[in-house]
Structure 1
């Protein structure tokens, strides 16, 4: 009996393989099964839970099950998008782990026949005080910028958070969006037996072998030993591959195509055969190699980057190979589709693997793992904010300005070329990024509408209540779109969780999925693609550290009319808070509670989904009818940081006049949902109030924009804060760079 554990299999799984095959698998076969049955490829712990997501809508062209989701943007343009994780590789080798994450998600979009036009990233790191975390942060950001900038796809937005639970399990989630002419989409499948398989792109090396298995297990003290599992990317080669594939699509030379990612050629060929309901035969000696002496095992499971598997009619093979040479790409016919449902791999005359496709793909294990509510919740839910000592506003403000979660992320996004392609209308730093769709596939493919993208995922709120926290995150993602005037089309998600073999983690996952599903169904927004990343756990000295439950949501919307950004526009404009105002201002789960009072506790502020929807609809009207000139949602850092972000980057200040009996620290630092700060002028103020009231929501006059760059806050005519906005902005801008350069 072979050592099945080396291939990521349990004893029970190995015995199931023996039963299905009626024999012992050989070394190559066991490697293939281990990779395709890994959590990373098979979703064996999560697949049963994901069925609750809404996936259909009249505008959905392709839902989950392909390399990316596709929706109709308008009658002329379809858009493809997806988010993927590259978490474990980015801890072991930050630069290459992040860079190949970008390359992989670009090829996912390319495999649908779409031209990639935008990237976003969602990053989670430990608190950046120790040298290892700083090394990871710098390496990940440099890896993303290096690959994205070099391949010519702009990184137009994202988010970055720092929490100690991510110290040894950083989350690197990368999103890509592409466009195609309506009606021209490809899938990872063939249409008849005898169609040829061509491997195109880079030559195959030994990098990335066992990558899928590595990404499906917990970390321990020997994480460094897994460095050999990390792939190495080449963005310049990737650019040639993008242009070659798009020309092949334009010339109608392809039947289907599949990216080579996890499990390499074995994964691509078996998944393609499964979707085609066929078998496949591979000729491994035909695969272009860049290293001598590679074994069949290494060839079939290599995860070398910049490779794709094409399905081509026999009579078009030469045309494909000739075009590949024009782009200086490696290309070879390495197999064909067969009718018997068997995966076969030959090396010369030797048959090195013969497995039923159904065993590799469809019969991968499905687990209904035990769930149990974590014990810590009973303790954190007893939190009573009324017992917190009152804190001076200025003291709290300056403490929060030093938080890397609240400071400017310019140090990160200015390393990305977010303008390449000249499609970026609204740059990073706001509620959502906005793109125009002009010719990028062929001159006649364009749209007069704008595209909006945003990213959300508040792991701390989900730690406190994964069900309510998930609804909170979904609502915030759609609120971000509404703040720029966009209506959501669909979302893609990456579910980042700890070890699913721990019942508490499975409970978190199930509750989060159910919360996301409920909110998406309520808003009528489908989930069209996604990824699950489990085993984000590190065991050190017999103690396990799991990440917060962190589902990352990337929401895509369309702007049919006007849009606004979050910045105040003119001196004298009036500032209003609109939304769900008449409720307790809770600091549960807030950055204020964490930084100022050193607590992560409380019950997540519940979202009233009906009021949230009314707020979104109201914002669309206010923006399109020209009633408001800016809009910015209240989120991390509360109302105080919402106001500051509306001022930063402008020459203005603000005078805030309140008449409230609320504790001012709670009022300004609560992260309650369904609240937005808007600005208007005196001529439109009454109309704004009327429209808010007619929507069944509340408004509060906060003050006005001033010419002098000072933030002045008065409550019942008592001045409670006066600060120079320019000084606050300088502190806000320099915080992250200072923290990362600090050597003490």
Structure 2
């Protein structure tokens, strides 16, 4: 239902009561999900421009120049609420929707990434959500032949009742050949094509702007969740790209939140529109105008077509077996009009509907969540095994293997931290995620470090960060503490992106991620996706006898670490990390002056050693807990045969050991010796596999 204050304001502007369709249209388009009414003031502060940025925030997808011959289309979205109610369909349609955002710009989708956050892995509900979300996303992506690259996984109690299913899509197009989502000619026809329209997804945008778990069993809530058909999407991709390549459409937009009402009004905001609701191809019978205009049935697009091109455009739709119809026209005035059964059922100033929302100005309240550090009980060896067994660090190949990461043949390298595609003979690197525990303890530093972490992954494979997307996942903005999280996190994102000259070219906001049923509000998760450009370099294994060094200073920053998660030790969260080493690391990797490189992030030095130097002799002097488990950002683990290059690079570093062929990782501290065999590492990393196979 439309909020009373919004209804009163609209009435004061129009001087009349709203029709049923008008009321529901405002409810959905002025929802948090569509309007960003609580976060616009923060989003405006983010850096969004750069030499390579062709299209920034505001369209279905951003467009960034990759090379002289190739542009990239990029988009990021969340499907959090639907994926709790129906994880298979929620994750599947999340993939389908973000892919449509990319090909609506004229780009061929070439990859997806997925930063996901779940509750406790031991809970049957979590395992069910994870299992079904993975199956849904994989089935959809595989059917449309789009590879899935590296994701990000986090397990925390705050996500019980509200998992985060974020999806990123990357597309490519020829330089200079793209289209926008805004109609620009008067007298154009509006072509709806794709799947037929049913009643599914009604009120989805409004549903995504509220708490979910308390109503999860309600039939009305279940009806807001929709099923997708990836086979139709595969044909929709071919249809849209052929229409574009042949010059048959002028602009194109995906039908997502708020359905035809949302897409057509946003597309025609500058030219006005008249929509004929009874012309829409229907799957269900006896649908009224509200259902037709606001349903969120999947796999649908709307395009602006010149009148003389309509027949040719319809022939392409027919060729691929899609439903299609001319459902409206651009009018050249400032009105949005909908006709149904010979009557005008909606007549509104189009910019009032699409841009006139009154922004919220909720209050902020800082909080202090850090706790003093208390040295955890147990030996270093015991703590090492506990940390390596945490699901955040566990091998997740049982789920990742369901995706075809090699589809289309461009995938050069996929790791848990980053992926590399081959494009125009160069490496296109990609990484995603953010550490919500750090962001909870220090929203500004945590968000800044999310950017730094991904940039560190990009340079560790020889890339230069090109651009970033963000997906701001938070609880209710009506709570002052959450509003402070949002404010501080966006400042942190902006500050680090400016420091590294990385534009944020698009993204999404997902609020009200909380659950009355579980009594939880999520830890703030301003998830980031980042893309880089460089030589074609992948994961490199060091050679026997190579030296091992830590680049950058390690601080006692254990708050929010994996060690904190498994022991409750507390401590200071990482301050904003040092960026000085990044250019030197990129050059060392690019010139092959190091044999191996890995950013030190979650799990600290221990996790980096377990991945890059699993057969090694390591000597740590001083505080072993801090050295092994601190998650200070801006550090790297490198291996090399010639120290000369490291000295010449100007980075600060400490040599801690060498690579061996011993079949084990031996870590010598001042108090004990930790020995980890390959079986030990495998067993520790099997947490997710063991949990998900347990019944």
Alignment TM class, shorter chain as reference? over 0.9
1:626-680 Cα deviation digits (max 9, x unpaired): 21121101111111111101146xxxx111123x122x12211111111101111
1:410, CA displacement in angstroms?
A: 1.1
Structure-1 separation of matches of 2:479 and 2:415: 38
Structure 1 residues 722 and 86, CA, compared in 2 at 3 Å: closer, same or farther? same
* 1:589 corresponds to 2:547: no
Matched, 1:396 2:408: no
8 Å CA contact retained: 2:3, 2:27: no
- In the other structure, the counterpart of 2:619 is 657
CA contact (8 A) 2:389 2:686 kept: no
CA distance in 1, matches of 2:6, 2:377: 57
**Rounded Cα–Cα distance in structure 2 between residues aligned with 1:127 and 1:362:** 40
- For residue 410 of structure 1, what is the aligned residue in structure 2? 397
Counterpart contact for 1:20–1:359, Cα < 8 Å: no
Is 1:556 the counterpart of 2:531? The answer is yes
Q: Is the 8 A contact 1:577 1:701 kept in 2?
A: yes
CA–CA distance in structure 2, aligned partners of residues 239 and 196 of structure 1: 25
- Residue 336 (str. 1) matches residue 329 (str. 2): yes
**Correspondence 1:607-618 to 2 at 5 A:** 607-608=576-577, 611-612=578-579, 614-618=580-584
For the residues of structure 1 that align with 2:557 and 2:126, how far apart are their CA atoms? 32
Task: Answer yes or no: is the 8 Å Cα contact 1:464–1:602 preserved in 2.
Answer: no
Whether the aligned pair in 1 keeps the contact of 2:412 and 2:538 (CA below 8 Å) is no
Matches within 5 A, 1:2-41: 7=1, 9-41=2-34
1:698 equivalenced with 2:629 (yes/no): no
2:693 is aligned to 741
**Matched residue, 1:456:** 433
Secondary structure at 1:15's aligned position in 2? helix
TM-score computed with the length of structure 2 as normaliser: 0.97
8 Å CA contact 2:426–2:536 kept in 1: the answer is: no
The residue matched to 1:484 in structure 2 has which SS?
Answer: coil
Distance across 2 between alignment mates of 1:201 and 1:372: 47
Structure 1: tracts of 5 or more residues without a match: 1-6, 438-446
Which residue of structure 1 lines up, in the alignment, with residue 86 of structure 2? Answer: 93
Aligned to 1:516: 493
The number of equivalent residue pairs is 693
For residues 176-325 of structure 1, the aligned pairs below 5 Å read: 176-225=169-218, 226-274=221-269, 277-325=270-318
Corresponding residue for 1:626? 592
1:577-633 CA-partner distances (Å, limit 9, x unpaired) = 112x2x5332121111220x225x43322134xx41x21100121012221121101
Aligned to 2:638: 678
Aligned equivalents of 2:144, 2:341: Cα separation in 1:
36
Of residues 588, 610, 626, the one that matches 1:644 is: 610
- Other-structure match for 1:83: 76
SS in 2 for 1:602: coil
Distance 2:365 2:542 in 1: 51
- Answer yes or no: is the 8 Å Cα contact 1:413–1:428 preserved in 2: no
Q: 2:629 aligns with which of 654, 663, 669?
A: 669
The one-character-per-residue Cα deviations of 1:222-276 (angstroms, maximum 9, x if unpaired) are: 22211110111000110000011111111111100010000000000110111xx
Deviates more, 1:100-109 or 1:449-458: 449-458
1:720 equivalent in structure 2? 673
Query: Matched residues in 2 for 1:669 and 1:617: separation?
Result: 25
Q: For 1:624 and 1:219, how far apart are their aligned partners in 2?
A: 47
8 Å Cα contact 1:152/1:420 also seen in 2 = yes
Deviation (angstroms), 1:687: 2.4
**Structure 2 Cα separation of the partners of residues 400 and 699 of structure 1:** 25
Instruction: Encode CA deviations 1:81-126: one digit per residue, 9 max, x unaligned.
Output: 0110000000011000000000000000011111100000010010
- Distance apart, 1:10 and its partner CA: 1.8
**Structure 1 residues 285-334: Cα deviation after superposition (integer angstroms, max 9, x where no partner):** 11111111111111101100000001010000000000111111111111
Which residue of 2 is the match for residue 73 of structure 1?
66
* SS of 1:180 mapped into structure 2: strand
Matched, 1:546 2:521: yes
Q: Distance in 1 between matches of 2:120 and 2:547?
A: 38
Partner SS state of residue 601, structure 2: coil
Secondary structure of residue in 2 paired with 1:703 = strand
Whole-Å Cα distance in 2 between the matches of residues 521 and 214 of structure 1?
35
Q: Distance in 2 between matches of 1:436 and 1:393?
A: 42
Task: Give the equivalent residue in structure 2 for 1:444.
Answer: none
Question: How many Å separate the matches in 2 of 1:195 and 1:97?
Answer: 34
Answering whether residue 455 of structure 2 is matched by residue 475 of structure 1, we say: no
Question: Which shows bigger deviation, 27-36 or 401-410?
Answer: 401-410
Deviation at 1:220, TM superposition (A): 4.6
Alpha-carbon distance between aligned partners in 2 of 1:148 and 1:732, rounded to the nearest angstrom: 30
In structure 1, C-alpha distance between the alignment counterparts of 2:24 and 2:172, rounded to whole Å: 36
Superimposed CA distance per residue, residues 440-462 of structure 1 (whole angstroms, 9 cap, x where no aligned partner):
xxxxxxx1222011012110001
Quick one: distance in 1 between partners of 2:158 and 2:652? 38
Instruction: Tell me the C-alpha RMSD between the 2 structures.
Output: 1.5
- Please state how far the C-alpha of 1:219 moved relative to its aligned partner: 2.4
- Other structure's SS at 2:278 match: helix
Distance in 1 (alpha carbons) for counterparts of 2:224 and 2:213: 15
Tell whether 2:483 aligns with 1:496: no
Instruction: State the alpha-carbon separation in 2 of the partners of residues 221 and 625 from structure 1.
Output: 55
**In 2, distance between residues paired with 1:499 and 1:544?**
13
Contact residue 216 and residue 535 of structure 1 kept, 8 A: yes
Contact persistence 1:713–1:722 (CA under 8 A): yes
**Is the CA contact (8 Å cut-off) linking 2:201 and 2:296 kept in structure 1?**
yes
Q: C-alpha separation between the residues in 2 aligned to 1:723 and 1:121? A: 31
Offset at residue 702 of structure 1 (A): 1.5
Output the CA distance in 2 between the equivalents of 1:722 and 1:90: 42
SS at match of 2:232: helix
1:440 — aligned with what? none
* Aligned pairs (5 A) from 1:567-582: 567-579=540-552, 581=553
CA distance in 1, matches of 2:99, 2:645: 46
The Cα shift of 1:428 comes to: 3.4
Equivalent residue for 1:606, pick from 544, 558, 575: 575
1:168 corresponds to 2:161: yes
Query: Is residue 408 of structure 2 the alignment partner of residue 421 of structure 1?
Result: yes
Distance in 2 (alpha carbons) for counterparts of 1:300 and 1:732:
52
The structural deviation recorded for 1:476 is: 0.7
Question: Secondary structure of the equivalent of 1:48?
Answer: helix
